[in-house]
Structure 1
Amino acid sequence: MVDAAVPRERQFTLWCSELPGFGVYIHPTGRRTYFVDYRNADGVRRRMTIGRHGKITTEEARRLAIATMGETVRGEDPALERATRRSSLTVSELCDNYIAAAERGLIMGKRGRAKKATTLYVDRGRIAAHVKPLLGKKLVRDVSKADIAKFIRDVAAGKTAADRKTGKARSRIIVEGGAGTAARTAGLLGGILSYAVSDGVIDTNPATGVKRPADKRRERRLTPAEYGKLGEALRQAASETEIEQVLAGVNLLALTGCRIGEIAKLKWSEVDEAGQCLRLEDTKEGASVRPAGRAVFDLLATITRRPGCPYVLPAARGGSEFYGALPAGLARIVKRTGLSSVTAHTLRHSYASTAGDLGFSESTIAALLGHAAGTVTSRYVHHLDSVLVAAADRVTDAILAHMARAGE
């Protein structure tokens, strides 16, 4: 009934025939909002919004309406209590509510999807390290544009930077400041305050229009000579018994342009040699297909498969888990090169830059990297365009050639 309702020029209401006082607004835009209508102990009529159709089902809304009606029978006034609670809500409490909603899949991230667990992990870290220390005690209703601007300046200046022990052996938490951190954290804060607007805590978002520092992209790339040093470091590490997972993992990072998590968690079931691609089930951009050069599959053919383990890079200690120490392994290889500021992202950017050097278009490079604007979804594609496969071959061959030139 709710889905079938046709929007009109003006908002109208559908009432539930089973639960008096439970209804849904049908807005001209097509949005549908559940509410409950009741009278408090003083006989004053109240109407309280329950939630938006789509984020909650009709049955979930009905259960919430029944719970609200139960509170009124006990002499409580849910709408008044909500208004009072919202007016005294602190930024710290708002952040907790935001994370709780995100964990239930109610906060949409990129491309309209619920936020991934990895994104929520980063969000929690930024909230704990920057938002709560600087704004946590402030009432949400009192946060102004000036507060947001000062927050950005303080994070950029390193006011929240820290280096502390976690209580675990050889484990530390390092929090950095800087313009990039300030820009990304301000973006998260803006999203949290947008959630506060949608939840009726505040009427407008004070972060809107506040200028943020440019979130500088990491543009470090490897030159052909530096690729040569990377290749030499890998050969030296192999001769000194570096474990197979690290050697294969770093080579795959260099030859595919994949993110480090995508390689660390790569499964054999995602390797499509016949189609010359990696059909990744779960990435930052969702499921996607990554064209891969023939050399990638030659490398994969040399890796020992562990019985019962689905991962290409299995955990060193045995079992069926993936190798989680690839970042540390990459750091060891990079240390051998003597190069500075080389990360997994550097290898990804270098892959893209090599493709650019070879004259490939931005859309082709985006497809090779699995960027949202050019990602190829595995749901529909079974045979990749020969142009993409050829592009992956050329990029991989060029990088391999650079890596083979060490010492020249």
Structure 2
Amino acid sequence: MGERIAKLTKRSVDAARPEAERYVVWDGALKGFGLRVEASGTKTFLVRYRIAGRKRFLAIGRFGQLTPEQARGHAQAILADVRHGRDPLEERRSERAAITVAELANRFLAEHVGPKRKGATAVHYSSLIRRYVLPKHGPRKAHDFVRSDLARIHLSMRDRPYQANRLLAVVASMYSFAERLGLLADGCNPAARIERFPEARRERFLTMEELARLGEAFRRFENDGRFREGIAALRLLLFTGARLREILHLRWEHVDMERCLLFLPDSKTGKKTIFLNTPALAVLRSLECVGDCVIVGADPRVPRADLKKPWAAVTEAANLPRLRIHDLRHSFASVGAGAGLGLPIVGKLLGHMQASTTNRYVHLDADPIRRAADAIGETIAAALNNSSDSNPSSKSDAKRLSIPVR
């Protein structure tokens, strides 16, 4: 490859004609700045430099896309980086090899979510990433997807705060996965310090009157062959506080009638034991064993997919239009908490791994708190009325609370 020297200006670059072999015209004013002329006529600005004893050539851009003066400015910046110990060519190679958002997402879903998360959770993670992140940001380098990008997506989902917050959690997990594997440098997680939307937790507890209406609807439909199995499943959900899939996927081999237990090999929280009370046992004994699954569908060998039809029928008959199936689990917990059984016991029955999960029912665990409130209120009322004839039980409660009764 031939070499020449000339001041690189628009006139000199225009005058550089293609020859049988490519050659380089080196700028006479800026050492290391040059123009490579191909036999095809393509002209490319480049920089030559040495680092750690090795000669490097780095293309800046083509003539036409860049003017000679623009290319000179780029060359000066590159050579300044070299003087500060950086290797621009190696940095460019690293940038090209850097993982994209789409590549990271695929690895995260295949190597982390798939093997370590439940099926429904894995599907939810994949849906959030593929729907909200990949369409616009998938081709970008993962390290270029920054907090402001994710914050804009999060803000655009403000009408769906629960989904928006789950997306932040999924992206945070994805970037933590990348950092652990060394795919990205530490500290580049775009979900860090983005404030979550407040979520209004929807907790619906059936009252005794509503339970009576629901029971009447159960009795109305449970002799209908179309709904018999579904009503049995709904009764089991209400009597055990189990999750929907725990009952729909229940197999007879998991049922121990003698010890009044269900031994689930897998659940949302892993291996789980469910305690069967007398009503739940009665439901199980009423079911005919026609296959491996306790709640059979069209195919006895396959777990039933859902309870949509029986649930729609009973909620309409009981005039409970906005009640969800999961509210049966909440109602089971609310009865236990309201009876003063204690949140640790209720949490154990529900299969909660952490006490904080059961704390949503703390306002229902009110028996001692209610007595205290009554004692305080009656003591204050008696004082306001200047009465010494207050309720004896209130005096006793107030004494335990060290409240002076006048």
TM over 0.5: yes
Q: Find the counterpart in structure 1 of residue 233 from structure 2.
A: 249
User: 1:282 deviation in Å?
Assistant: 0.7
Distance 1:151 1:259, change over 3 A: same
Amino acid aligned to 1:346: D
Whole-angstrom CA distance in 2 between matches of 1:278 and 1:347: 18
Q: Deviations over 1:217-246 (max 9, x none)?
A: 331121111112211211222354433221
Secondary structure, in 3 states, of the residue corresponding to 1:290?
A: strand
Alignment equivalent of 1:363, drawn from 344, 350, 369: 344
Alpha-carbon contact 1:290-1:367 (below 8 Å) kept: no
Report if aligned partners of 2:254, 2:262 keep a CA contact under 8 Å in 1: yes
Q: Distance in 2 between matches of 1:353 and 1:336?
A: 23
Q: Is 2:71 aligned against 1:90?
A: no
CA distance in 2, matches of 1:327, 1:43: 73
Answer yes or no: is the 8 Å Cα contact 2:221–2:228 preserved in 1: no
Kindly name which structure, 1 or 2, has the bigger radius of gyration based on alpha carbons: 2
3-state SS of the aligned residue for 2:305? coil
Helix, strand or coil for the counterpart of 1:310? coil
Which stretches in structure 1 are left out of the alignment for 5+ residues? 1-41, 45-78, 106-113, 158-177, 375-408
**Further displaced range: 119-128 or 96-105:** 96-105
Q: In structure 2, how many angstroms separate the alpha carbons of the residues matched to 1:337 and 1:130?
A: 39
Change (3 A) 1:86 1:298: farther
The match for 2:176 is 194
Gaps in structure 2 of 5+ consecutive residues: 1-51, 55-89, 356-406
Aligned to 1:56: none
User: Is 1:350 the equivalent of 2:331?
Assistant: yes
Distance 1:80-1:103 versus aligned 2 partners, 3 A rule: farther
**1:267-301 deviations in whole A, cap 9, x for unaligned?**
11111222222111110010111112111111110
Q: How many residues align?
A: 268
- Corresponding residue for residue 232 of structure 1: 216
**Could you tell me which residue of structure 2 aligns to residue 323 of structure 1?**
304
Shift of 1:134: 5.4
* Partner SS, residue 100 of structure 1: helix
Is 1:115 aligned with 2:99? no
CA deviations over 1:78-137 (Å, ceiling 9, x no partner): x999944553x33233211211112663xxxxxxxx222232122112222323245434
Partner residue in 2 for 1:203:
186
Counterpart CA distance in 2 for 1:180 and 1:297 is 37
1:4-403 → structure 2 map (5 Å cutoff):
83-84=94-95, 87=98, 89-102=99-112, 105=115, 114-133=116-135, 135-157=137-159, 178-198=160-180, 199-204=182-187, 205-306=189-290, 309-316=291-298, 318-373=299-354
Find the aligned partners of 1:340 and 1:134 in 2 and give their Cα distance.
Answer: 39
One-letter code aligned to 2:317: R
Q: What TM-score do the two structures reach when normalised by structure 1?
A: 0.60
Q: Is the 8 A contact 1:220 1:341 kept in 2?
A: no
What is the distance in 2 between the residues matched to 1:181 and 1:244? 35
Equivalent position amino acid for 1:277 in 2: L
Structure showing the higher helix proportion among its residues: 2
Moved over 4 A (4+): 79-82
CA distance in 2 between counterparts of 1:277 and 1:181 reads 36
- Considering Cα pairs closer than 8 Å and 6+ residues apart, tell me whether 1 or 2 has the greater RCO: 1
Shift of 1:150: 1.7
Partner of 1:65: none
Please, what is the CA RMSD of the aligned residues?
2.7
SS at the partner of 2:222?
A: helix
On the 8 A contact 1:98/1:195 being kept in 2, the answer is yes
Give me the whole-angstrom Cα distance separating, in 2, the residues matched to 1:214 and 1:138. 30
